[in-house]
Chain A
Amino acid sequence: MTAKTNQKIAFCVFRILGMLVVGLLFWILGFIIYNGIGVISWEFLTGYPTAGMTSGGILPAIVGTLCLIAGSSIIAFPLGILSAIYSSEYAGNGKMVQFIRVMTNNLGGVPSIIFGLFGMALFVNTLGFGDSIIAGSLTLGLLTLPLIIRTTEEALKAIPDSFRTAGLALGATKLQTINRVVLPMAFPNIITGLILSIGRVSGETAPILFTVAAYFLPKLPTGIFDQVMALPYHLYVIATSGTDLEASRPMAYGTALVLIIIVLLMNLLATALRRWFSKKVKTH
């Protein structure tokens, strides 16, 4: 066989595999949309669950998930970005720093239920926050920190040193160089990491199970020490342990669809922000 036919066969295989994956994704998406679209209505989006969660709406769960996204972002974004800046721009490459880096990456691989248990032990019990938005947000924030730190570090590392040297050679301090040159350049990639983390937060069930999520709570939160319902947990409840599983099946698909749409919207927002910042960076 010539190299050329080899290449043709290889390309063919890659293409088929690629299409298979994309096809599978669209199949899942289509399946959810097909089953869930019928339930989506104004009432579904803005109402409270009724009749043992077999009818009515999912507003509390939507609001709950949005609260958790906001809460965990407020906690994890600054902490994660600052840690990453420290680790990649200041810390150097000593033994201790390398150890911390490895541990951070390992933390990213810890099952989320462990974070849930840790969150319960520390935030809910020891610190006495109880089942609350704050406890859930802190737990989710911790969960996403490794992801945010790693993606931010990589975004910073991708910026060639020649830009840092240029800044310093012009009499800028290290901090000024990072703020005015490195960070703006790295920002589009940092944002991608942040949005990935939001996607993770919106979909996780285990970490909120013991820290914030309510089985059934037909009212909206009034403060950070309130419990909330959340989309993934609500989905889990009505799909596995509701009062009448058959009757709540359409509600489950509807909930899944809303969850997917939230994540998709976040991704679109990320792409738009990314584009906007890449453009702005070059002509700012």
Chain B
Amino acid sequence: MIEAKNVDFYYGDFHALKGISMKIENNTVTAFIGPSGCGKSTFLRLFNRMNDLIPDTRLTGECLINGQNIYDKAVDVTELRKNVGMVFQKPNPFPKTIFENIAFGLRVEGINDKNFIQQQVEESLKSAALWEEVKDKLKKSAFELSGGQQQRLCIARALAIKPDIILMDEPASALDPISTSKIEDLIHGLKENYTIVIVTHNMQQAARVSDKTGFFMLGKLVEYNDTKKMFLSPEKEETQNYITGRFG
């Protein structure tokens, strides 16, 4: 379970997240929606500590995964990131072969067993619904894939290190409708084994893929509820306005 307890986050003097508390159950898909700049990505990046890379930032409150405060001094950030994978807005495969892209996380862990790697690569590509398309060109550069395929490759790459949680920051916003729907199908399937948090600007997408939805505005979590409820009868007027496009 993922839990944020009264989280505040600052970029220098800028107060980007304001008193956010939220619980996310295992094996669910949670969507974050909200206007640009409201802090969705910032909040998402807290859970694999990617915000650590940005200088001059400050966090108060607690972020817990399975009860463990991930900002505790004893936590090994690389171990955390192996447990919490991330998929970015723009597909960012390495300039390596398709095979080596997937194997990257394993090699980094010091795994050299060829058969094991082979098997993991195949399994990950299958889970990411990419295997059929690439099984004959695993030794080709990942750059030869289409944008949509590259994004599924990045998902497969994240799956290969067996995380429990996958964070996705607008994973389909750079893709065409067909690739987008493939990613959405994929997310549905992954729910069985993973906990997924996805940021999206696409209301329909949030409605289609998620169990719960959080609506952010100006650094605050305005409403967090079952997706059905959010889209049919939101409790807050701001949510209603945003979802129906009457935002202003």
Where the two chains meet, the residues of A that have a C-beta atom closer than 8 Å to any C-beta of B are 92, 162-163, 165-173, 176, 180-181, 184-185, 281-284
Contacts and interface: CB of A to CB of B under 8 A. Distances in A.
Given A92-B55, A168-B53, A284-B97, A173 B78 contact: yes
B88 A168 contact: no
B141 A170 contact: no
The 5 closest A-B pairs by CB, nearest first: A171-B82, A282-B141, A171-B81, A169-B86, A162-B92
A162 B88 contact: yes
A165 B139 contact: no
Nearest to B104: A170
A169 B109 CA distance: 13
A170 B108 contact: yes
A168 B108 CA distance: 10
Interface residues of B, number: 32
Interface in B105-161: 105, 107-109, 139-141, 143, 154, 157-158, 161
27 contacts: A162-B88, A162-B90, A162-B92, A165-B88, A165-B92, A166-B88, A166-B92, A166-B94, A168-B50, A168-B53, A168-B81, A169-B85, A169-B86, A170-B81, A170-B85, A170-B105, A171-B78, A171-B108, A173-B78, A180-B104, A180-B107, A180-B108, A181-B94, A184-B95, A282-B141, A283-B96, A283-B140
Given A92-B55, A162-B90, A165-B88, A171 B79 contact: yes
A171 B94 contact: no
Given A162-B92, A283-B139, A283-B141, A169 B97 contact: no
A163 B53 contact: no
A171 B109 CA distance: 8
Contacts of B141: 282-283
A168 B85 CA distance: 10
Nearest to B108: A172
Contact of A169 (B48, B90, B107): B48
A168 to B, nearest CB: 7
B105 A283 contact: no
B8 interface: no
Nearest to B48: A169
Given A165-B53, A172-B78, A282 B85 contact: no
A194 to B, nearest CB: 21
Interface in B73-89: 78-79, 81-82, 85-86, 88
A94 to B, nearest CB: 10
B136 to A, nearest CB: 15
